[in-house]
Structure 1
């Protein structure tokens, strides 16, 4: 596991993102029915099903509503093609608000998906996106086999779309304690948390399994697993809770740790950046005022481009005229006469003097030779 977020973009505070798998039949019909019901009840303002680009087999759904009565939220759910997947059909949901997300707002997941089977679905939309056997809204008991437990926690921690929470039961809980803690969390956190449960006798085994992740769960407490890469400022001590009472009461300390965790500048999960760009750039569900504003922006953009083209054309024309004038002036100018060739440059005076001196020495040497015998 890497320990640095590097240069990856961080999750905007205005974004709510989640993904999962739907294991039932015809999930697109389930989404249509749910959105229609939410519009009739006034939970959302409107929804649409724009065609997927370039003939893609994906199914795209858009919805908009006003959170808190006044804050506009735009959301986009994409159903990936099944392609004979035996484990279900993957979905991705991103929602962006006009201001930082408030955890008390309704969960976007329950505006696209039914909260209960009574609403027309088998409740199978909340499966973990990559790890089989895990659910977003249920208690996920850890495997009895130590190696399998280690593998599951490691694989789950890599899925940074979710917040993975490991809870150790200090003693065997009663009926209320066996219910998922997710139901007691604020709506904005409820469908982004995966709850792993360790039985009382698994205390040593679960901490052995968590050793590679650099965290441990207190006896009878809970810990939030760091994603990969870990966000800057992550400290496992700030994201562990010593006591979690499984008696149906609100887990105040755990909620505080969760709030602190999601407020960290966490890197965007793999694929979330593209999903957010698609939400912003391919959005079709506009009000009349937004459509008019968009057309004004297009007109302004086209006018700016036309002005730039006109300016570029004028500059090109001016440069061409100057080039023609320079060429005409060059053709009309008289051909200059070739300058007379200069005689070869004479040797420098010092070199001439040295040459004369050497000549005198040579002849003087001949005159001063030894006398011949008579």
Structure 2
């Protein structure tokens, strides 16, 4: 009977992660410049760029550490991938000492500058901007492809909002900036024009969700988060008049707080943050050295015990060998005994009963045969 695959690990409540794409040139230079500025202004405590010789050929790795109230240390690791001349993907994983507070600063702003004419704030899978309204494509095939990518291939939270009527300037403002700062670069907002409702719901049927007319829906991920029910994350009406959509913001915040499964590639990124961390304080370096000394001491103790056990086993083996030799010597045959030792007699008896090939008897002499039968032996010719 086939066994079901094991459930993927869930994202720890202390972890913040996202994948983005930088569409401009010299992404590494932008990161270095901004990290220096943030350190000089004491926004972050420190940062480190991992040397190229210690990272993959096509990657640049940056680490940063800062604190959020009340004195909670956050460690973050950004991996920049040299993808192509048209952009570079980046992966950011941050972990706090306590469960993540979505009201805290976005870890992305601890690495990237916050100017509006920036080119780094695009979601990696869909290439759409985080803090902006993103109109859905008019072509039905492109629409389905985009929504499928948003559900199956993205680390971000995707929200679809339907415009019941064409909004004015206030209604066209993005809603994601109204969320907590910690969600600013984890949420992508899609806008469906008034006439696109039917096409959008047709594309969403495969995911079991429906976009209400004039409302919004938070899309599930793949695999979906435990506890996700489409009705709980659908909002019947969103007024695009410049007012705060409280119900929608609550639905997005609740969804982001669910124990979602780690997406593809996130487990490796989290493991690298925890095991390959380089930006250590003096106390952390001393603690690491103490752990290394303890580990080496345990290994040395285990080697010593293994050596002693081996020596004891060797001594016992030598004793057993000596005892065996003595017992064999006692079983040796006494000189001059004709019948041999009991072991030899047993061996000869066994050979007789093995059923080996028998030697034929020699033929009787003709004269003896004639004398026995009373006939004359044949004359020689």
Kept in 1, the 8 Å contact 2:9–2:262? The answer is yes
Tell me the equivalent position of 2:115. 116
Greater relative contact order (CA < 8 Å, ≥ 6 in sequence) = 1
Tell me the equivalent position of 1:316. 310
Q: After TM superposition, give the deviation of residue 176 of structure 1 in Å.
A: 1.7
Kept in 2, the 8 Å contact 1:20–1:128? The answer is yes
Q: Structure 1 CA distance, aligned partners of 2:154 and 2:25?
A: 27
Helix, strand or coil at the partner of 2:230? coil
Question: Is 1:143 matched with 2:144?
Answer: no
Aligned CA distance change for structure 1 residues 54 and 106 (closer, same or farther; 3 Å): closer
Question: Is 1:282 matched with 2:276?
Answer: yes
Question: Is 1:129 matched with 2:129?
Answer: no
Question: Is 1:97 matched with 2:91?
Answer: no
Tell me the equivalent position of 1:24. 24
Question: Is 1:332 matched with 2:331?
Answer: no
Q: Which runs of 4+ in 1 moved over 4 A?
A: none
Tell me the equivalent position of 1:370. none
Q: After TM superposition, give the deviation of residue 259 of structure 1 in Å.
A: 2.2
Q: After TM superposition, give the deviation of residue 238 of structure 1 in Å.
A: 0.7
Kept in 2, the 8 Å contact 1:169–1:199? The answer is yes
Question: Is 1:204 matched with 2:198?
Answer: yes
Q: Structure 2 CA distance, aligned partners of 1:320 and 1:85?
A: 66
Helix, strand or coil at the partner of 1:237? helix
Q: After TM superposition, give the deviation of residue 130 of structure 1 in Å.
A: 2.3
Tell me the equivalent position of 2:35. 35
Q: Structure 2 CA distance, aligned partners of 1:102 and 1:310?
A: 49
Helix, strand or coil at the partner of 2:342? coil
Tell me the equivalent position of 2:81. 80
Q: After TM superposition, give the deviation of residue 61 of structure 1 in Å.
A: 0.4
Unaligned runs of 5+ in 2: 332-340, 351-381
Q: After TM superposition, give the deviation of residue 204 of structure 1 in Å.
A: 1.6
Q: Structure 2 CA distance, aligned partners of 1:28 and 1:93?
A: 14
Once the two structures are superposed, the pairs formed by residues 58-69 of structure 1 within 5 Å of their partners are 58-69=59-70
Q: After TM superposition, give the deviation of residue 286 of structure 1 in Å.
A: 0.7
Q: Structure 1 CA distance, aligned partners of 2:135 and 2:5?
A: 30
Unaligned runs of 5+ in 1: 345-374
Aligned residues: 334
Q: Structure 2 CA distance, aligned partners of 1:38 and 1:175?
A: 34
TM-score when scaled to structure 2? Answer: 0.83
Tell me the equivalent position of 1:49. 49
Aligned CA distance change for structure 1 residues 154 and 235 (closer, same or farther; 3 Å): same
What is the root-mean-square deviation in Å for CA atoms of aligned residues? 2.0
Helix, strand or coil at the partner of 1:171? coil
Q: After TM superposition, give the deviation of residue 338 of structure 1 in Å.
A: 2.1
Q: Structure 1 CA distance, aligned partners of 2:136 and 2:14?
A: 33
Helix, strand or coil at the partner of 2:214? coil
Kept in 2, the 8 Å contact 1:19–1:92? The answer is yes
TM-score when scaled to structure 1? Answer: 0.85
1:182 to 176, 190, 211: 176
Helix, strand or coil at the partner of 2:123? coil
